[in-house]
Amino acid sequence: MQNQKGVSLLFVVMIISFIAVICFAGYFAVLQYLSDNNQSQNQGNNQQQNTQSVIDQTAGWNEVKDDQLGFSFKYPTDFGSKYASFQQNPFAVITDASKIDSNGCLIESTLTSKESRVTINNMQFCLGTGSDPGAGQLYNSYNYTTVKNGNYITIEYLVHTLNGCGPYMGTTDYQPCIDFMNSYDGNVVKVIEKSVATLQFTK
């Protein structure tokens, strides 16, 4: 009888231990689930915020749209500074292969161009750049050419700056001009690249 009581007590202890293990395992499983769920929600929120940030960066930009050929792109009115501006509004040129050189760039005759291949927003472009200095002024051109449905589409940007900050010497604008020009790529080229990244095709 004493032996049977001992066995019964051991059995009860084992049952209780088993239940305790199940409860602990369930408890930690719930904690892990809640942690993973919160992490997924945070990632989703971050992605939404990043998407909203990209959208906000082009809010209020001008839009060029061609419904017939099925494309559009956006560009800002200015660069947020008086030290650089668009000489003319950016525009798109549609050509056939006869106006395109072997690198895939639009053939230019007015400016001496340097050509390179770039990828923006998973789209391949031939970038033709050139400069035209004169009378203390500088005009930099940036032409991005891609092909869609047999049509070559070139987005052309022409940026005007002073050819150096000398005219501002001795004024409060001199150092801000120097700072702007030292960060020209970030202040101008990056903005143009963001504009190119808005190119969309509907056909």
The CATH number that applies at residue 70 is 3.40.1000
**Domain identity same for 10 and 84:** no
Cβ contact 47:39 at 8 Å: no
Q: For the chain, how big is the Rg over CA atoms in Å? A: 31
- Of 56 and 108, the structure prediction assigns the larger pLDDT to 108
**Domain identity same for 71 and 137:** yes
Cα–Cα distances in Å, from 74 out to 67, 97, 122? Answer: 14, 25, 17
- Domain end, chosen from 36, 57, 78, is at 57
**Domain identity same for 68 and 50:** no
Range of the domain at 3: 1-57
**Domain identity same for 21 and 93:** no
**Domain identity same for 39 and 104:** no
pLDDT at 111: 61
What is d(CA 110, CA 131) in angstroms, rounded to the nearest whole number? 10
Cβ contact 193:159 at 8 Å: no
Give me the amino acid identity at 81. S
Is residue 181 pLDDT above 90, yes or no? yes
What is d(CA 138, CA 71) in angstroms, rounded to the nearest whole number? 31
Burial letters for 102-124: b for 16+ Cβ neighbours within 10 Å, e otherwise?
Answer: eebbbebeebebebeeeebeeee
Encoded tokens for 2: 């004493």
**Domain identity same for 113 and 197:** yes
**Domain identity same for 9 and 29:** yes
**Domain identity same for 42 and 67:** no
**Domain identity same for 41 and 124:** no
Is residue 5 pLDDT above 70, yes or no? no
H/E element, 203: none
pTM of the model: 0.71
Quote the number of domains for the chain.
2
Banded model confidence at residue 128, pLDDT cuts 50, 70, 90: very high
pLDDT at 59: 87
**Domain identity same for 128 and 176:** yes
- Of 29 and 47, the structure prediction assigns the larger pLDDT to 29
3-state secondary structure of 11: helix
Is residue 33 pLDDT above 80, yes or no? no
**Domain identity same for 81 and 128:** yes
**Domain identity same for 85 and 10:** no
Q: Where are the alpha helices (DSSP H) in 80-148?
A: none
pLDDT at 51: 46
pLDDT at 110: 57
Per the listing, tokens 């070139």 go with 154
Summarize the confidence of residues 129-143 as an average pLDDT.
92
Banded model confidence at residue 21, pLDDT cuts 50, 70, 90: low
- Residue 53 DSSP symbol: H
pLDDT at 78: 95
